[in-house]
Structure 1
């Protein structure tokens, strides 16, 4: 499989989503993030757009969210139980496996996701992590997990001109959790988990920079 090509195509989709303001419907708002959605063109679910400002420098925010082995994400993100790099494709592309704990009062059992992930920094200082689901011979489905699928998704860490201690974090989530969950459960859980992600990230960067 052309993992590098797929990763590049996913990054391009993130830029298309970022530039396309049409059709997003607001569904949740907190002091930290505004979440909106529209029907996905990738699968029979929704793509979610989350836009918030994190009170920390882009490098510190990136340190908390970057998808690397031994990274900080498993320490602060309550939805991520484990993260491992299955194959390093290049300096910027890897195939990764993420496992999650049970959630939503244990209505949602533990999940596993296998994705190709791209990380890139742009000339203006913006950093992007983009991912989409793949199959990998070293990652057959495991019996204790339901296999879920991330469709093109990602996070932009965007510097704010004149505000070096703040970061715009623009994220796109597009997840099919798999299994036999009612659509109403999925449509309630994902926006709630996104706002929790931003809240926990804000706490994590404060701890990192304290």
Structure 2
């Protein structure tokens, strides 16, 4: 994977830096300049800080979009009672699903964020999910592959995503947006899609500690040669499917 290759390149560059700063070879001058290692560690910290800051901006943007931004239009109500709204973004529709899940807010955050690699075990719409790089306790970079949707009309897509979660005003929010392909090269036979700013906003329900309200913001460009009308119909169905599998998983968790 490219992120491993990138790290290897950094190590080689660091080694060259140290070699260039050796004193003439002698018993008294065999040790490299320790400041080189300090510089390398600073570089790594700066890169992590940059990713953290980008993720924080996505989180703030999706918080505003989900909680305060007007202009949402009703698309449908699912058989499970989820309401799906949409609004026009710069180049495509942005969707928001609002529903209820019978799990505490913190436990749902655990399932959707911290246990992201376990999602394919309970959700057949996700073929693969892995954490590529952990930035800090709240921020990481993940890789997901979706299964075919819309009866196979839309083939598998994959995403490289920068994510961050936070607790804001009594709510949990887990935000995400596509990031550089350098962390995972494109795979043969899978179209690399793009995720715009999206999030899960998980809110408590008064007097119901074992339930929560969820809002799921999705801004996705599936790429490939797909009619926009087909995509706009397929995405709400995919959101409904995900919620159906999530609720089935939650019933299993509550039965343990």
- Structures share fold, TM-score greater than 0.5: yes
User: What corresponds to 1:62 in structure 2?
Assistant: 109
Select which of 202, 209, 224 maps to 1:164: 209
1:76 aligns with 2:122: yes
Shift of 1:34: 0.2
Q: TM-score, normalised by structure 2?
A: 0.76
User: What corresponds to 2:151 in structure 1?
Assistant: 105
CA contact (8 A) 1:64 1:204 kept: no
Q: Structure 2 vs 1, CA of residues 67 and 47 (structure 1 numbering), >3 Å: closer, same or farther? A: farther
CA contact (8 A) 2:83 2:99 kept: yes
CA contact (8 A) 1:48 1:172 kept: yes
1:131 aligns with 2:176: yes
CA contact (8 A) 1:120 1:128 kept: yes
RCO (CA 8 Å, sep 6+): is it higher in 1 or 2? Answer: 1
User: What corresponds to 1:144 in structure 2?
Assistant: 189
CA contact (8 A) 2:101 2:213 kept: yes
Shift of 1:198: 1.7
CA contact (8 A) 2:105 2:202 kept: yes
Aligned mates of 1:61, 1:95 — CA distance in 2: 20
Select which of 219, 237, 242 maps to 1:174: 219
Aligned mates of 1:40, 1:78 — CA distance in 2: 29
CA contact (8 A) 1:68 1:85 kept: no
Aligned residues: 206
Q: CA RMSD in A?
A: 1.7
Q: Which has the higher helix share?
A: 2
SS at match of 1:23: coil
Q: Structure 2 vs 1, CA of residues 68 and 56 (structure 1 numbering), >3 Å: closer, same or farther? A: closer
